[in-house]
Amino acid sequence: MTAPRPDADPPYLRIAADIRRQIATGALRPGDRVPSARQITRDWGVAVATATKALAALRQAGLTRVVPGVGTVVSGAPTAAPTAKGLTRTEIVTVATNLADAEGFAAVSLRRVAAELGIATATLRRHVTSEDELILHMIDAAFASAPLPSAPPQGWRLRLEIAGRRLWTLFRRHPWLAPTLSLTRPQPSVNGAKYLEWVLAALDGTPLSLHDRMYIHLMLFGYVRGLATTLEPEAQAERETGMTGNEWMDSGFGDAAIPPDVPLFEQLVAMEDFELDVDRLFDFGLARLLDGLAVFITRTPRSAPRP
């Protein structure tokens, strides 16, 4: 039996070994940024999932760490890791959010965030006592990063469209956010409450009661959130397979057989100009939702009292 070739190692281990050599030889010094996942996919010609695993292996080995506002750097940076005295909750939330954005929400834990910051978990708990509290701060910071206009335009339809699009942009930026938010047991986020207030006020001048306005908010939020819950699983699938959703569909639905007696579906699969674009789907659905609301508001008498 012949010995396995050195290049028999998985690609992510070979990439991690190459970056490790650069650190050992001084080509990458403490505090220097290591290649990002995007750069690795470009330079090594691998999928995002492989690049992410390589970076994770370096972090687990203690060779790199995440610096808020900078990225992943070689450990032992001249800028020392935050201490209990200098650490801020904003830094903690930033690191947790970056982790969730890059690796999915399942990667976030107090222990993992503390490791990324280079501190003990007990030190982290002095600022964030539990994972539930951390999640709440992450949600609040996300909403704070995309405030609605302080001077809204005229007209309920344009205002609701802005609210829906702002929420969609937020979910696209943070794929973990939509499945984390609860429709029936909403988290007490200060900036989330400000978003709700803006939507309710968007219907000023209409005959709708506060009761109806709240249902409209829930309907709009439920539509945007429902579509956005597909984003994180899709991002995970793309990291694992290296294929986008449309590339997977073009490959034959992962080699799945098309069932018989579905002629329209067969025609759709055979079409070369159709792509499942979630942004276009969002635009289409939002427009139809607002069309329906326009009919409802027009038909609602101004004198009609509602519970």
The model's confidence at residue 21, banded by pLDDT at 50, 70 and 90, is: confident
pLDDT > 70 fraction of the chain, expressed in percent and rounded: 79
121-172 pLDDT tens trace: 888 888 888 999 999 999 999 999 888 888 888 899 999 999 999 999 999 8
The model's confidence at residue 1, banded by pLDDT at 50, 70 and 90, is: very low
36-86 pLDDT tens trace: 887 888 888 888 778 888 888 888 777 887 765 556 788 764 444 445 556
Name the 3-class secondary structure at 111.
helix
Using only the alpha carbons of the chain, give its radius of gyration.
24
Q: How many residues does the chain have?
A: 307
pTM of the model: 0.63
Residue scoring higher pLDDT (302 or 112): 112
The yes-or-no verdict on residue 114 having pLDDT over 50 is: yes
CA 159 to chain centre: 24
User: Of all helices (H) and strands (E), which one includes residue 218?
Assistant: helix 210-228
DSSP state of 7: G
The C-alpha torsion from 217 through 218 and 222 to 228, rounded to 10°, is 50
Ramachandran quadrant class, 224 (left: phi over 0; alpha: psi -120 to 50; beta: rest): alpha
**Which among 199, 249, 254, 245 has a CA at the least distance from the CA of 221?**
199
Return the pLDDT at 300.
84
Q: Give every CB contact of residue 107 below 8 A, 6+ residues apart in sequence.
A: 99, 100
The yes-or-no verdict on residue 210 having pLDDT over 80 is: yes
The yes-or-no verdict on residue 256 having pLDDT over 60 is: no
Residue scoring higher pLDDT (184 or 83): 184
Return the pLDDT at 67.
66
Structure tokens at 190: 């200060």
Residue scoring higher pLDDT (80 or 176): 176
Mean pLDDT of 87-112: 87
**Which among 217, 189, 194, 214 has a CA at the least distance from the CA of 148?**
194
Tell me which residue has tokens 């990063």.
145
Spatial contact of 52 and 104, defined as CB atoms under 8 Å apart: no
* Distance (Å, whole) CA 146 – CA 140: 10
**Which among 227, 267, 269 has a CA at the least distance from the CA of 248?**
269
Mean pLDDT of 189-207: 91
Q: Out of 61-75, 98-112, 113-127, pick the least confident.
A: 61-75
Structure tokens at 248: 């997977």
Name the 3-class secondary structure at 101.
helix
User: Of all helices (H) and strands (E), which one includes residue 65?
Assistant: strand 64-67
